[in-house]
Amino acid sequence: NDTTDHSLNTTTMRRKPLLIAGIPIAGLALASYHGGSSTTVSAWSPAPHTTTSRRSHKPSSSSSSVVLHSAIEDELDLSSLHLTPQLEMMVTAFSSIPDEKTRHKQLLYMASKLPAVTDDVRISENKVPGCLSTVHVDCTLEPKEDDQETMVVNYFGDSDGLLTKGLLALLIRGLNGATPEEIQQVDPQFIQAAKISQTLTPGRNNGFLNMLAVMKKKALDAAEGGAAADEETKSEEEQSAIVTSFEEIDGKPMYNTIMTTLITILKPTSITLTDNSSQHAGHAGSKGWEESGESHFALEIVAEAFEGLSLVKRHQLIYMLLGETMQKIHALEIKAKSPAEV
């Protein structure tokens, strides 16, 4: 009868819902009207990813359809972002979710599924600077299961902020199982292609960039550390030359933040930060001066990370790492060198 035919038609046209991190995206149903008074509803799933050009089609007079279209995906070719297979899969899935609220919920779900870590991971060497929440991340380098000669990276970490933890979970899942070289190639613009950046405040966006930067450096350190262990190319003297701590100054939060960030990320062999704010007392427009009497600094730093970088690139690297702190500084004089230049 008509009732039975309609029930079968609805069941036949029903598609499996989109799964991200093992959970179906609920509540995303698109209704298609097929003439007359009959209506069928099928669970929503994204269109398959393709690199070919797209054409838009106007709905006919006898039917109505909903077309999901991402301008960002058109602007950013995923193949140019050098994503790992897992990252590309998740970027495609997230970009296909039509609303920010659901993307936000998915990040919170991924945060709840991130494996717990022990307290030995929550140490200063693993802390990510420049995040609104506290984030710790580390990694190991292990042989690939199906190719023992290829070494791949496996990350683990935690955060005390749920949304930040979700971003960390996304990065861990997306980068785990990739080689250090593949991880270095990943373009951070994928956060825009996934439309996740729309959900984040500028502070969390900056924190995300810092997390990715730290994870890239962790992968490099793990790869170089493994080679060093095999070849014994790094001496104990070279390791002891790296600056690992400094004396904090009470009432100087910007000074302490700058030193902590640069020492943690760049691992300099020498670093000197001079606060010249007293020479420019009351400088107009300086947020740092208004908050703590800090506005002008002079930085001298020597680090291996500057090897092969131009002067402009070295300055840009420091600006990026300091993130929101740079917005409060009126002037930062920088002298950045590699060990070979000293």
pLDDT (tens digit per residue) in 58-96: 333 333 333 333 344 445 688 899 999 999 999 999 999
* pLDDT tens digits for range 225-268: 766 555 555 555 566 688 989 999 999 999 999 999 999 999 99
Q: What is the pLDDT of residues 306-337, one digit of tens each?
A: 999 999 999 999 999 998 888 888 889 999 99
Q: How far is CA 132 from the centre of its chain?
A: 14
| pLDDT for res 228 | 55
Q: Are 135 and 127 in contact (CB under 8 A)?
A: yes
Residue 19 confidence (pLDDT) above 90 = no
Average pLDDT taken over every residue of the chain: 78
Q: Region 266-292: what's the mean pLDDT?
A: 77
- Residues 118 and 136: beta-carbon distance below 8 Å: no
139 counts as catalytic: no
Give the pLDDT of residue 229. 54
Any idea what DSSP says for residue 310?
Answer: -
| Structure token pair of residue 339 | 């060990």
Q: Which helix (H) or strand (E) holds 135?
A: strand 135-144
Burial category of 147 from C-beta neighbours within 10 Å (exposed 0-12, middle 13-18, buried 19 and up)? exposed
pLDDT of residue 30: 28
CB-based contact 262:336 (threshold 8 Å)? no
Of the listed 131, 169, 212, 214, which one is catalytic?
131
Q: Judge whether residue 21 has pLDDT over 70.
A: no
For position 202, what pLDDT does the model report? 87
Per-residue pLDDT tens digits for 98-144 = 899 999 999 999 999 999 999 999 999 999 998 889 999 999 999 99
The pLDDT score that the predictor gives to residue 291 is: 72
For the CA atoms of 210, 272, 248, 225, the dihedral, rounded to the nearest 10 degrees, stands at 50
Q: Give tens-digit pLDDT for 181-237.
A: 999 999 999 999 999 988 788 888 899 999 999 999 999 999 887 665 555 555 555
pLDDT score of 177 more than 90 = yes
Q: Which band of pLDDT confidence, cut at 50, 70 and 90, is reported for residue 283? A: low
User: Is the pLDDT reported for residue 42 higher than 70?
Assistant: no
Nearest CA to 293 out of 277, 271, 276 is that of: 277
| pLDDT higher at 39 or 147 | 147
Q: Locate tokens 């910007």: which residue?
A: 254
Residue 4 has pLDDT above 90, yes or no: no
pLDDT band at 287 (very low <50, low <70, confident <90, very high): low
